[in-house]
Amino acid sequence: MGIDSLIGGTIWDEYSDKVTNLMNNPQNMGEITEEQAAKMGAKLIVADFGAESCGDAVRLYWAVHPMSHVIMESKFKSFGCGTAIASSDTMAELCKGKTVDEAVKITNIDVEMAMRDDINTPAVPPQKMHCSVMAYDVIKKAAAQYKGVDMESFEEEVIVCECARVTLSTLQEVIRLNDLTTIEQIADYTKAGAFCKSCIKPGGHEAKDIYLVDLLEEHEKEKLAGSATLGTSGDSSVDFAQMTIVQRIKAVDKVVDSHIRQMLVMDGGDMEILDIKENGANFDIYIRYLGACSGCASSSTGTLFAIENILKEKLDMNIRVLPI
């Protein structure tokens, strides 16, 4: 018995009213025939997509104006659970009146959000999020058919979490910048891994090329490699310009701890690194003065020059220190 068939218990509490209503009373279910499309002066597009993970499938019909590329009518047929019906119906509705290029930008998150009763409460249980992903994929299939291209051409980046549409580059950057170490932290920052959980590690309902646990392991190896390149004086055997942002921050922190902080603490002050940004050939290090340093007259002259000169000597001559 499928999860959508469990009438007893509390499973229905996890579905929004919009979803349960659309399960039983979809507004866009049906088909568009060649004759109907011709009467509208439109080109008929029929696209099929099936989810191997659950056996559900959806067929999407578009009547597209050949000059404006606007989707004049959108209907669907769904072969699967009630959640797939509700997701497909919402997807078909969202396509109406949009150009094909605009429709491709509709994501599974847009579909799920449109099915919510209120913005803060998910419309479906996490394990059913894949149904809205299927709705997103069939849009790509229809658009690809209309344009005569491969549907994969619409994906500019590798998607690790299909449910939340989180890319590999986004996950790598967020993990590095925030030094994330757990799956829970990744979910808090990006929503990746918060739904069907197939992207967390092998063994879920859908096999992946890369998992969140792989990215955490990669980050830990990167940190260890960065630490191994730093000597006790803070000098690095790796060129500062070739470091990752995480390695640069750690290298600067190491130099500050070894050569700068004690000087500031002796006068009742301190400093913290806020950010490091590349600016042409320069590396701009943004700092905040703490304690007595924040109100010291030399914080923008003598103290600043001393900090900048030490970092230039130890790390890179193109470093500039900018207090904010």
Mind telling me the catalytic residues? 54, 131
CA torsion sign, 185 to 188 to 192 to 194?
positive
Q: Output the CA–CA distances (angstroms, integers) from residue 308 to 31, 208, 262, 284, 317, in the order listed.
A: 69, 46, 15, 10, 9
The gap between the terminal CA atoms of the chain, to the nearest Å, is 61
Cα separation, 285 vs 283, in Å, equals 6
Name the token pair of 269: 């002050």
Give the CA count within 13 Å in the CB-facing half-sphere of 68: 11
Distances 230 to 156, 226, 279, 293 between C-alpha atoms, Å: 36, 7, 24, 28
- Beta-bridge partner residues of 273: 287
Amino acid letter, residue 179 = D
Write down the residue that tokens 């009373």 correspond to: 25
H or E segment and range at residue 208: none
- Looking only at the bridges linking them, the beta strands covering 57-64 and 71-79 are antiparallel
Distances (CA, A) of 107 to 276, 279, 322: 33, 34, 40
Which amino acid makes up residue 211? Answer: Y
Nearest Cα residue to 104 out of 130, 72, 79, 136: 136
Please give the DSSP secondary-structure letter assigned to residue 226: H
